[in-house]
Amino acid sequence: AQSVTQLDSHVSVSEGTPVLLRCNYSSSYSPSLFWYVQHPNKGLQLLLKYTSAATLVKGINGFEAEFKKSETSFHLTKPSAHMSDAAEYFCVVSEGIQGAQKLVFGQGTRLTINP
């Protein structure tokens, strides 16, 4: 079975400084990986996805993630944090099943932005 581990339950940064949210995955084959964001009392929004094309993936709102097979990692970064980035972030791996896509979620990382 595939799984993801988010290494930090809470990350706090100052506005304008870089953001790093860490995720390691476990997969027996080349995985499909995603990052989702959930703002307070909202649904989940897809930030970006990796599906074995370019290892550096660019997403919305200035976020990007790099797939590193040797480290089994898929960390999410942003050069400069904005107050609106405060939210819960989920690293997700997809298990392929005939007819559907089973998403397996990490535990989430709460990102706090300090003014």
Cα–Cα distance between 4 and 107 in angstroms, integer?
A: 8
Query: Which residues make Cβ contacts (< 8 Å) with residue 50, sequence separation at least 6?
Result: 31, 32, 33, 34, 57, 65, 67, 74
- Can you tell me which of 29, 43, 56, 115 binds another protein, judged by CB under 8 A? 43
CB 59 within 8 A of CB 113: no
Please calculate the CA angle 39-36-30 and round it to the nearest 5 degrees.
Answer: 170
Q: Report the residue number, 53 or 115, with the smaller CB distance to another protein.
A: 53
- Can you tell me which of 16, 18, 79, 96 binds another protein, judged by CB under 8 A? 96
- Can you tell me which of 8, 22, 24, 49 binds another protein, judged by CB under 8 A? 49
| Span from 11-19, 66-74, 79-87, 98-106 in contact with another protein (CB under 8 A) | 98-106
Which residues make up the interface to another protein (CB under 8 A)?
32, 34, 36, 38, 42-46, 49, 51, 88, 90, 94, 96-105, 107-108
